[in-house]
Amino acid sequence: MTDFSWNLVGDLRFMWQYEFIRNAYEAGTMIAILAGVVSYLVVLRRSSFASHAMGEVGFSGAAGAVLFGVNPVFGLLLFTTVGGTGMALLGKKAATRDVEIGTILAFTLALGLLFLSFYRGYATAAYSILFGEIVGISNAQVLITFEVAIPVLLVLGVLYKQLLFASLDEDVAEAKGMHVGLLGVIFMIALAVTVSVAVTVIGVLLIFALSVTPAAIAIRLAKKPAYAVLIAVLVALGAMWAGIFIGFYEVEPTSFFIVTIVFVAYMLVRTVPLVPPLLKRLVPGPVSQATAAGSPPLPVGAPPDSATNPERA
């Protein structure tokens, strides 16, 4: 494209004249908001493996869509929604959920391999989903993103308290009469939609960047769920906008910059709080007057005046 001019306003105006950049920002904004909201539930429910599995399940759906001449996004949505519902129905308890997720994942990956073996051409559309390419999103894909993301956000807004309660303690929620199984299905469908629209940006292999990491950052910065969700959304938005901006002026893939920004933010949150305790260990405390005068330090358990009065030591 071109190089940075170090005039951010001018750079943004230059970028915004291209339709594919406007499409990327529009779709990326919606995806980041949805991913930030859902990622908090993913972390609370310990469903990181499910979010990873959803991406690979979606790849199989995209491969099937390419085989039958359908838009890969529809294949993504179909397979992730059906697969997510199956995971929720079979893995009702967190203790056994990973087994059901792994079983469904293996079967859907086998289906994806079968679809690709039947396809006689080069499945570029399916393979591009592995790494994503947000600058290649069309107007139709932007519209699809909004059509599937907005209803999910509305449902999550209505049921968020119940989903949050069920995510924190399934047994107590069930004892209080909540439909934990139904809430689990709703959550998995929301995760399926999030993954389906997010893979067009960062790809199947990097889906953790938006479905897990923003909430992992937020939980370390905020105790209240509302604040944590807000921070997760802001982190996802910041990474999305900055990644698209940098990717326009660099030759490296945009998804690389998005993932790198989120990763760096997470590492900062993890490491910066460790600096004060580390400094306390490395830097000695105040030196006592006796030590400064050349007197030996007091032995452990010695009375305070033993250093100044040897006869009483």
Can you tell me the distance from the alpha carbon of 201 to that of 184, in angstroms, rounded to the nearest whole number?
A: 26
Given pLDDT bands bounded at 50, 70 and 90, which one contains residue 95?
low
Number of Cβ atoms within 10 Å of the Cβ of 166 = 27
Q: Are 138 and 23 in contact (CB under 8 A)?
A: yes
Report the chain's mean pLDDT, rounded to a whole number.
78
Identify the weakest region by mean pLDDT among 37-46, 118-127, 256-265, 300-309.
Answer: 300-309
Give mean pLDDT, residues 45-57. Answer: 82
Tokens of 236: 């996802």
Give mean pLDDT, residues 198-207. Answer: 75
Can you tell me the distance from the alpha carbon of 144 to that of 142, in angstroms, rounded to the nearest whole number?
A: 5
Which residue has tokens 């293996």? 106
- In this prediction, residue 298 carries a pLDDT of 47
Can you tell me the distance from the alpha carbon of 58 to that of 72, in angstroms, rounded to the nearest whole number?
A: 9
Can you tell me the distance from the alpha carbon of 313 to that of 309, in angstroms, rounded to the nearest whole number?
A: 7
Q: Are 247 and 240 in contact (CB under 8 A)?
A: no
Under DSSP, is residue 251 helix (H, G, I), strand (E, B) or coil? coil
Q: Does this model's pTM top 0.85?
A: no
Q: What is the dihedral of CA 159, 238, 148, 60, to 10 degrees?
A: -110
Q: Are 65 and 75 in contact (CB under 8 A)?
A: yes
240 exposure class (CB count in 10 Å sphere: 0-12, 13-18, 19+): buried
Q: What is the pLDDT of residues 129-174, one digit of tens each?
A: 766 777 777 788 888 888 888 998 998 888 888 888 888 777 787 7
Give mean pLDDT, residues 71-77. Answer: 82
- In this prediction, residue 174 carries a pLDDT of 76
Can you tell me the distance from the alpha carbon of 245 to that of 257, in angstroms, rounded to the nearest whole number?
A: 9
Q: What is the pLDDT of residues 15-42, one digit of tens each?
A: 888 888 888 888 889 989 998 899 888 8
Share of the chain above pLDDT 90, in %: 9
Can you tell me the distance from the alpha carbon of 73 to that of 58, in angstroms, rounded to the nearest whole number?
A: 9
Identify the weakest region by mean pLDDT among 115-124, 138-147, 250-259.
Answer: 115-124
Cβ neighbours of residue 170 under 8 Å, at least 6 residues apart? 93, 94, 180
- In this prediction, residue 142 carries a pLDDT of 85
- In this prediction, residue 288 carries a pLDDT of 43
Among 108, 123, 28, which residue's Cα sits nearest to residue 70? Answer: 123
- In this prediction, residue 33 carries a pLDDT of 92
- Please name each of the domains of the chain with its CATH number: 9-280 (1.10.3470.10)
Cβ neighbours of residue 256 under 8 Å, at least 6 residues apart? 247
Can you tell me the distance from the alpha carbon of 39 to that of 211, in angstroms, rounded to the nearest whole number?
A: 5
Can you tell me the distance from the alpha carbon of 308 to that of 182, in angstroms, rounded to the nearest whole number?
A: 75
Q: What is the pLDDT of residues 178-188, one digit of tens each?
A: 888 888 888 88
Can you tell me the distance from the alpha carbon of 211 to that of 164, in angstroms, rounded to the nearest whole number?
A: 16
Cβ neighbours of residue 107 under 8 Å, at least 6 residues apart? none
